[in-house]
Structure formats: structure tokens, C-alpha cells
Amino acid sequence: MDALQGGCACGALRYQLQSEPMFVHCCHCLDCQRQTGSAFVLNALIETDRVVILTGEPQPVSVPTDSGRPHRIFRCPGCQVAVWSEYGGRAQLRFVRVGTLDRPAALSPDVHIYVRSKLPWVRLPDGVAAFEAYYDAKSVWPAASLARRRALFG
């Protein structure tokens, strides 16, 4: 894998992924729509210790969610671009915003989730799994990614 690097808009915050992500979500939930101001968000799920900060220090911002579960969005303190999130109080897993990568086309979604709230004009690609809400990772993720997940959460 070529090193995947990314950062914020002003360049003060730079990071590098030390491996491929475990899985990539395209989330169409209302929280993601509200938090991004867009139709969906692309998140690369990867272990926190595999995200190396090269420059800068992202600042966590706690945001309310419809589910009530904790959600922290990490932003550049200067330009306020969101570079990753932590969901459900699980600090060992990052949801890296694919759009902040230098080469966002390097990662494509493995699944589309919460399509029950997908905007009606968004067309999903053929051949990519789509779920009305969330899904059972054990039946969808590749074995190697499941092993990495087990190493994180037991």
C-alpha cells in the first residue's frame, strides 16, 4: 500500500495511515448529513494507533447525536476541518474522513449504511452492499478486518 496521507484545508494538520483501513462506510444517516452539511460521509475505519499525526494537533469536539451515543469529531483548530471521528466512546477506533486524504479516490465504500435516510436523488452503485440501518459486521467484513477488530475490542 502506498502511504495514505491527508490533512486539513489550511495545511496545519497532517496525518498518515499506517495501513489500509479495516473497512470503509458511506453513511447516509441524518447525523452525518447534519454534521457534514452534505448528503453522506465517507469514513475509513482504522485503529487509532495506525493513524500517525505528522503535524498539528486535532481538537476533539463533542457533538450530540440522534442515538444519544457519544460522538467526538476531531478538527483542525485553525480551519476547523473535520479529519476523523470517534463514535460510542471507543477511542481505539478512528473513523477517518476519506475526503481529507490527499488521494480520496484511493478508498471507495465497502458498504452504504442508513440508506433509509438517503436523499432520494443519490444513486447507489451496483455491486456495493447497502443496508437500511447498520449491519452485522461478522457477516460482511473480510476475515482479516474482523481479526483486527477482535484485537481491538476482544
Taking only the tens place, the pLDDT of each residue in 2-49 is: 689 999 999 999 999 999 999 999 999 999 999 999 999 999 999 999
Provide the domain limits for residue 105.
Answer: 4-153
At 23 the pLDDT is: 98
Query: How far is it, in rounded angstroms, from Cα 5 to Cα 97?
Result: 12
Query: How far is it, in rounded angstroms, from Cα 67 to Cα 62?
Result: 14
Domain count, the chain: 1
Strands 51-55 and 111-113: unpaired
Helix/strand/coil (H/E/C) assignment for every residue in the chain:
CCCEEEECCCCCCEEEECCCCCEEEEECCHHHHHHHCCCCEEEEEEEHHHEEEEECCCEEEECCCCCCCCEEEEECCCCCCEEEEEECCCCCEEEEEHHHECCHHHCCCCEEECHHHCCCCCCCCCCCEECCCCCCHHHHCCHHHHHHHHHHHC
Taking only the tens place, the pLDDT of each residue in 57-94 is: 999 999 988 778 889 999 999 999 999 999 988 999 99
Taking only the tens place, the pLDDT of each residue in 92-141 is: 999 999 999 999 999 999 999 999 999 999 999 999 999 999 999 999 99
Mean pLDDT of the chain: 95
Please state the pTM of the whole predicted model.
Answer: 0.94
Query: How far is it, in rounded angstroms, from Cα 72 to Cα 8?
Result: 17
Widest CA span of the chain, in angstroms?
41
At 13 the pLDDT is: 98
**Which CATH number belongs to the domain containing residue 49 in this structure?**
3.90.1590.10
Query: How far is it, in rounded angstroms, from Cα 22 to Cα 12?
Result: 27
Residue 54 has pLDDT above 90, yes or no: yes
